[in-house]
Amino acid sequence: MLKENRFDFILNELKKKKQLTYEWIAEKLDVSEDTIRRDIETLHKNGLLSKVRGGAMLRAKNPLTFQDRSHYLKKEKEVIGLKAQQFIRDGQTIFMDGGTTNLAIASLFPAALSARIITNNQALLPVLAGHPHIELIILGGKYSPTGAVTYGQATCRQAEEFIADLFFMGTCAVDATAGVSGDSQYDVDVKRAMIRAAGSVLALANHERLFRREPFKVCELSTLDTIITDLPSDHKDLD
């Protein structure tokens, strides 16, 4: 059985039983307990379950920390970060909202880049503070420690005072019919404000964000100028 299929089985069974042992999983999948231990370790590191003595249990419903999310799908986010660099030019004013993919983009900025970055993403501060030619503008508002972002009416008002060339928009869900959607109203409000003030909107979506829907609408796909994903451009899922 493929590793990805084992992961799916483990996570689905945890939703039913809340806790599983290495022995039980190994017997059901007809693989060694060592294999299951490695699987559990991987899923635990990615924040998808909690490793306990002798097995695994369903992760508590507390949201993952920003640090947890920054390590999840790290290689995929780096691919998106590299692809994003082709859209960046000296002299641009760029919106970057919350999320760990924008952190990956900022980490790859050329040392000589001269640009204005406007963001509600507090995690960008230590990454960009050392760039001598980047003017970094942090939007104020209420602070979410889980998302490491500011949000609220003040954040939205400040965003709309600017005219940006680009908006690198993090996404929760992208679907051909539902468009771009999010899992929290406050996050969606900030995205909408930045969309209104940006010349071009570039959505950042790793493969897990595609073909998904969340409760709060951000925009139609027609609003986007580009979707940047980790998938190759000729991948069947992008048809």
Domain that holds residue 47: 3-57
Residues 51 and 75 grouped into a single domain: no
CA distances from 10 to 1, 31, 121 (A): 13, 13, 34
Say yes or no to pLDDT of 237 above 70: no
CATH, residue 26: 1.10.10
Predicted confidence band at 238 (pLDDT cuts at 50, 70, 90)? low
CATH, residue 192: 3.40.50.10470
pLDDT, tens digit, for every residue of 51-71? 888 899 887 544 445 555 555
pLDDT of residue 62: 45
pLDDT, tens digit, for every residue of 131-165? 999 999 999 999 988 889 999 999 999 999 999 99
User: CB-based burial of residue 31 (10 Å sphere; 0-12 exposed, 13-18 middle, 19+ buried)?
Assistant: middle
Residues 223 and 139 grouped into a single domain: yes
pLDDT of residue 130: 86
pLDDT of residue 68: 55
Residues 94 and 50 grouped into a single domain: no
Mean pLDDT of the chain: 89
pLDDT of residue 67: 54
Q: Is the dihedral of CA 61, 67, 73, 78 positive or negative?
A: positive
CA distances from 28 to 20, 23, 32, 134 (A): 11, 9, 10, 55
pLDDT, tens digit, for every residue of 9-30? 998 899 888 899 999 999 999 9
pLDDT, tens digit, for every residue of 170-216? 999 999 999 999 988 999 999 999 999 999 999 999 888 899 888 89
